[in-house]
Amino acid sequence: MILVTGLAGYIGSHTAVALLNSGKSIVGFDNFYNSSPDAVNAVKKLTGKDFPFYVADLTDVESMRPVFEENKISAVIHFAGLKAVGESVAKPLMYYQNNVSGTVNLLQLMMEYNVKRIAFSSTATVYGEPKVVPITEDFPNSATNPYARTKLFIEGILKDVCKTDPEFSVVLLRYFNPIGAHESGLIGENPNGIPNNLMPRICQTAKGIMKSLTVFGDDYPTPDGTGIRDYIHVCDLAEGHIAALNKIQTSTGVQIYNLGTGVGYSVYDLIHTFSRVNEINVPYVVCPRRAGDVPILLSNPKKANDELGWIAKRDLEDMCRSSWNFVKDK
Catalytic residues: 147
Task: Give me the least distance between CB of 113 and ligand UD1, in Å please.
Answer: 31
Site residues, ligand UD1 (CB under 6 A): 85, 123, 125, 148, 177, 196-198, 201, 213-216, 227, 229, 267, 290, 292-293, 297
Task: Give me the least distance between CB of 100 and ligand UD1, in Å please.
Answer: 16
Cα separation of 30 and 36, whole Å? Answer: 9
Task: Let me know: does 125 contact 135? Beta carbons within 8 Å.
Answer: no
Distance separating the N- and C-terminal Cα atoms of the chain: 34
Task: Give me the least distance between CB of 26 and ligand UD1, in Å please.
Answer: 24
CA 221 vs. chain centroid, Å, equals: 28
Task: Let me know: does 170 contact 155? Beta carbons within 8 Å.
Answer: no
32/216 with CB nearer ligand UD1 = 216
Cα separation of 4 and 2, whole Å? Answer: 6
Task: Give me the least distance between CB of 11 and ligand UD1, in Å please.
Answer: 10
Strand bridging mode 26-30 / 2-5: parallel
The SS3 assignment for 274 reads helix
68/324 with CB nearer ligand UD1 = 324
Which residue number has the CB closest to ligand UD1? 227
213/234 with CB nearer ligand UD1 = 213
186/294 with CB nearer ligand UD1 = 294
How many residues are given for the chain?
330
110/297 with CB nearer ligand UD1 = 297
Other C-beta atoms closer than 10 Å to the C-beta of 130 total 17
Strand bridging mode 26-30 / 228-229: unpaired
Task: Give me the least distance between CB of 71 and ligand UD1, in Å please.
Answer: 30
Cα separation of 261 and 116, whole Å? Answer: 30
Taking each helix axis from N to C end, the angle separating 234-250 and 10-21, rounded to the nearest 10 degrees, works out to: 60
